[in-house]
Amino acid sequence: MRRRLAQGLDPRMASMLIVLVAIWIGFEIAADGTFLTPRNLYNLSIQTSAVGVIACGMVFVIVARQIDLSAGSLLAFAGVLTAFAQVRWFEGSSYAWILSIAVGLAAGSGVGLFQGWWVAYRGVPALIITLAGFLMYRGAAFLVAEGQTIAPLDESYQRLGGGANGSIGVTASWVVGAVGCAWLVWHAWSTRRERAKYTQDMAPVWLDAAKVIVGAAAILGFVMVMARYPDRTRMDEAGNAPGMGIGVPVLILIAVVVGLTFIAHRTRFGRYIFAYGGNPESALLAGINTRWVVVKIFILMGILSTLAAIITTARLNAGANSIGQFAELYAIAAAVIGGTALAGGDGSVARGAVGAVIIESLNNGMGLLDVHTAKRQIVIGLVLILAGWFDVAYNRRRMR
């Protein structure tokens, strides 16, 4: 029975969710009931999206025994370049915002290819290459913008940041919630079917049912809270405002989590990443083109950094070389808090996203309590130390 329970429970995810709930309850009490309001939770979900997108990619990077210190600077460069292309190159075009996004994604992919080539084919440690990128890309952002803030941006583009008209509305949000609940049921059923096919130990039916019920309740509760946040930009003549619903950046983050989780568990590329991170020599001897795997990881990281840049610039309605500061450090912290092993070979995209939620919840809650920025950094640093200690203790106990 103990083995069957272990098949159905992820102790790290469970502990993270318990910590997250405790943080939310603590801030709700300390902030006199303002933390769990629809307005604050909507803002928290938007704030988490950019860091969460980078954190999901950082999980792949760390699993492959690499590191990326340039993600925040690349966010600034890609964001400034996207804004510059939108305002200067494609000004007046009906598709300016779409073309500018294509320019930003191309630049992010190119930077990822450049960094991956140096790491994989020239043997330069990723720490050195991405540290150089940390300096280079923010300097490039300054040169592109000429030290100025590039604004305003297209109204359609601004929706990607979750601001005015940056949500999908109540009806569409409930549809998304229903799809999420249906996916939970399908995932539990398909997992049990696959395990039965290979005669593996399965979790008790009641445990899988409980996980589905709790997950569905969390999804529907989130949708309900988002639907209760009024959209003041669309008030009717009677002064009534419809609900905002789920923000577009949150949908982007969900798509990234689902997509990368599918890659990790259902594709050859995902298996190669974990095989390489677990034992690079064995992966090479098994016939895996490990160099190309590393290059693709950095290309993927460049794309995700650009997505985070799009969310950030759309939310601010401007591109500036100062955006994205500490983003790479928060993403690494989120991945580590999510239990991604710095030694490689072990990690979870979903846990990385929850780690980003924990970090942003701490930032948001301390902001409500008017805690100084320096003190916030100290608290997040201490949380990172505790997460590292927990990971070490967990691995030692599992080895025993």
Model pLDDT for residues 54-105, shown as the tens digit of each residue: 999 999 999 999 999 999 999 999 999 999 999 999 887 889 999 999 999 9
Helical ranges in the chain per DSSP H: 2-8, 11-30, 38-63, 71-84, 96-121, 126-145, 155-158, 169-197, 205-228, 248-266, 268-278, 280-285, 290-316, 327-337, 349-368, 373-399
What is the distance between the alpha carbons of residues 378 and 366, in angstroms, rounded to a whole number?
12
Q: Residue 316 corresponds to which amino acid? A: L
pLDDT score for 4: 52
What is the distance between the alpha carbons of residues 336 and 340, in angstroms, rounded to a whole number?
5
User: Three-state SS for 245?
Assistant: strand
The count of C-alpha atoms lying within 13 angstroms of the C-alpha of 270, restricted to the half-sphere facing its C-beta, is 14
Whether 399 has a pLDDT exceeding 90, the answer reads: no
Give the Å distances, CA to CA, from 383 to 189, 205, 241, 365.
36, 35, 39, 14
Tell me the two tokens of residue 48: 């988490």
Q: Quick one: average pLDDT of 376-390?
A: 85
Tell me the two tokens of residue 176: 């998304």
pLDDT score for 201: 67
What is the distance between the alpha carbons of residues 236 and 243, in angstroms, rounded to a whole number?
12
Backbone angles phi, psi at 21, to 5 degrees: -60, -40
Nearest by Cα to 96 from 140, 43, 155 = 155
> 210 near 192, Cβ under 8 Å?
no
b/e string for 280-313 if b means 16 or more Cβ within 10 A?
beebeeeebebbebbbbbbbbbbbbbbbbbbbbb
Give the Å distances, CA to CA, from 312 to 57, 163, 317.
17, 11, 8
List the chain domain ranges.
11-159+247-399, 167-246
pLDDT score for 187: 87
Q: Quick one: average pLDDT of 306-319?
A: 95
What does the pLDDT look like over 19-45, one tens digit per residue?
Answer: 999 999 999 999 999 999 999 999 999
pLDDT score for 261: 94
Q: Taking the CB of residue 177, how many other CB atoms lie within 10 A of it?
A: 21
Tell me the two tokens of residue 295: 């290059």
pTM of the predicted model over 0.85? yes
Tell me the two tokens of residue 279: 């034992």
Q: Taking the CB of residue 64, how many other CB atoms lie within 10 A of it?
A: 28
C-alpha 153 chain-centroid distance: 24
What is the distance between the alpha carbons of residues 120 and 125, in angstroms, rounded to a whole number?
9
What is the distance between the alpha carbons of residues 72 and 330, in angstroms, rounded to a whole number?
9
Q: Rounded mean pLDDT of the chain?
A: 90
Whether 387 has a pLDDT exceeding 90, the answer reads: no
What is the distance between the alpha carbons of residues 182 and 54, in angstroms, rounded to a whole number?
27
Q: Quick one: average pLDDT of 145-153?
A: 89
Share of the chain above pLDDT 70, in %: 95
What is the distance between the alpha carbons of residues 150 and 184, in angstroms, rounded to a whole number?
42
> 306 near 104, Cβ under 8 Å?
yes
Residue 125, strand partner residues: none
What is the distance between the alpha carbons of residues 354 and 328, in angstroms, rounded to a whole number?
16
What does the pLDDT look like over 169-228, one tens digit per residue?
Answer: 999 999 999 999 999 999 888 888 887 777 666 777 888 888 899 999 999 999 999 999
pLDDT score for 306: 97
Element holding 359 (H helix, E strand): helix 349-368
Whether 239 has a pLDDT exceeding 70, the answer reads: no
pLDDT score for 396: 76
Nearest by Cα to 352 from 107, 132, 52 = 52
What is the distance between the alpha carbons of residues 390 and 18, in angstroms, rounded to a whole number?
14
What is the distance between the alpha carbons of residues 165 and 156, in angstroms, rounded to a whole number?
9
User: Three-state SS for 243?
Assistant: strand
CATH number assigned to the domain covering 11-159+247-399: 1.10.3470
pLDDT score for 314: 95
